[in-house]
Amino acid sequence: MKTTSTETASKMPPRLAVIIPCYNEEDILAETHDVVVKCLRQLINAGKTDRESFICFVDDGSSDKTWDLIEGFTGDGMVRGIKLSSNFGHQNALLAGLMTMKDSADCFVTMDADLQDDASAIDLMIDKYLEGNMIVYGVRDNRSSDSILKRSSAGIFYRLMNRIGVRTVYNHADFRLADRRVIDCLAGYREVNLFLRGIFPLMGFRSDQVSYIRKSRTGGRSKYPLQKMAGFAWQGITSFNTSLLRIVTATGILMFILALVTAIWALITYFSGKSIQGWTSILLIISAFSGINMISLGLIGEYVGKIYLEVKQRPRYHIEKMKL
């Protein structure tokens, strides 16, 4: 089927860049390299991607031999490397890779370094891309490779996000393909509190999904223990809208109505001459109110803290060196 250049890839076959953030991944990186190179070669040989397609490893301030390994890979012409000056976090490492390579490819796939994202799904992503989709989301088929805790907390997270009006793709992490025009738009999102899986659906564009089976990690350790994951989920919730602050206002109104009812009741008690009673209820009310006040203040403080970080407009990463 013949399509016009505006509905499909900007160049045929498109030049693909696979961006892989790595943080202390020395145990698995060599295997990841082999698997992704093989996959890229197959795509090139099948004429689906350009000969100059490449992989870009972003070393997110690793303290092990990750960068040495990346430097070793760069000899074959298919691998590029970026070394960040410190550990800026998964989201910023992804951004560093995308922004640095923005003008060097037609489409971009981001995937984790631990092979949990199935590299063979890139082939399907390219198919969807060639059909004219600007974003293709990798969606995991099941979560059996995750711990029960991770699985159930992720379920609650996605439901909560949708409930408060943040559009996210269910069971999609950061394994996705995006056209260069989408990445150009991404450059306009200047926020420090970065949550890419919320930004991509927000940007719109024609998109589709590819499902894949997420495997367990075979080497190295997860850099997202429960505490860090909870922080990331909170980032997602508070970085996209202020609906939580609205809950505070709603609770305030409800409490005000309750206080009115309590006042009427107190007056009635007073005029009927039984005013000594009621000590317990007053105590209960005071503690309930102070609790709600504290929560509300904390919540507002969260957003104020976010504003503080955003207004400073600090750079989100620094590149120490590159191997192209």
Positions in the binding site for Mg ion (CB under 5 A): 112, 114, 116
Of 13 and 175, the one with the shorter C-beta distance to ligand UDP is 175
* Residue type for position 174: D
**Residue 73 touches which member of Mg ion, ligand UDP, none, C-beta under 5-8 Å by kind:** none
- Partners of 172 in beta bridges: 139
Using CB under 6 A as the binding rule, whether residue 224 contacts ligand UDP is answered as: yes
Is 100:171 a contact under the CB 8 Å cutoff? no
Using CB under 6 A as the binding rule, whether residue 195 contacts ligand UDP is answered as: no
Separation in Å, CA 63 to CA 39, 57, 94, 232:
28, 15, 18, 22
Report in angstroms how near the CB of residue 213 gets to Mg ion at its nearest. Answer: 14
Separation in Å, CA 268 to CA 259, 261, 265, 278:
14, 11, 5, 12
Stretch that binds ligand UDP, among 49-57, 110-118, 135-143, 241-249 (CB under 6 A): 110-118
**Residue that the structure tokens 């891309």 belong to:** 129
Stretch that binds ligand UDP, among 101-109, 221-229, 243-251, 274-282 (CB under 6 A): 221-229
**For the chain, first and last CA: distance in Å?**
36
Strands 135-140 and 172-179: antiparallel
Residue selected from 112, 118, 122, 139 as contacting ligand UDP according to rule CB under 6 A: 112
Residue selected from 19, 113, 122, 154 as contacting ligand UDP according to rule CB under 6 A: 113
77-106 binders of ligand UDP (CB under 6 A): 87, 89-90, 93
**Residue 152 touches which member of ligand UDP, Mg ion, none, C-beta under 5-8 Å by kind:** none
Strands 207-212 and 172-179: unpaired
Is 96:319 a contact under the CB 8 Å cutoff? yes
**Residue 8 touches which member of Mg ion, ligand UDP, none, C-beta under 5-8 Å by kind:** none
Of 106 and 108, the one with the shorter C-beta distance to ligand UDP is 108
Using CB under 6 A as the binding rule, whether residue 22 contacts ligand UDP is answered as: yes
Using CB under 6 A as the binding rule, whether residue 21 contacts ligand UDP is answered as: yes
Neighbours of 224 (CB within 10 A): 13
Separation in Å, CA 255 to CA 64, 260, 262:
54, 9, 10
Of 112 and 118, the one with the shorter C-beta distance to Mg ion is 112
Strand ranges, E, within the chain: 16-22, 54-59, 79-84, 107-110, 135-140, 172-179, 207-212, 319-323
Of 60 and 106, the one with the shorter C-beta distance to ligand UDP is 60
Site string for ligand UDP, 40-69 (x = CB under 6 A): --------------------x---------
Separation in Å, CA 282 to CA 72, 251, 257, 289:
71, 19, 16, 10
Report in angstroms how near the CB of residue 31 gets to ligand UDP at its nearest. Answer: 13
Interface ranges with ligand UDP (CB under 6 A): 21-23, 25, 60, 87, 89-90, 93, 112-114, 116, 222-224
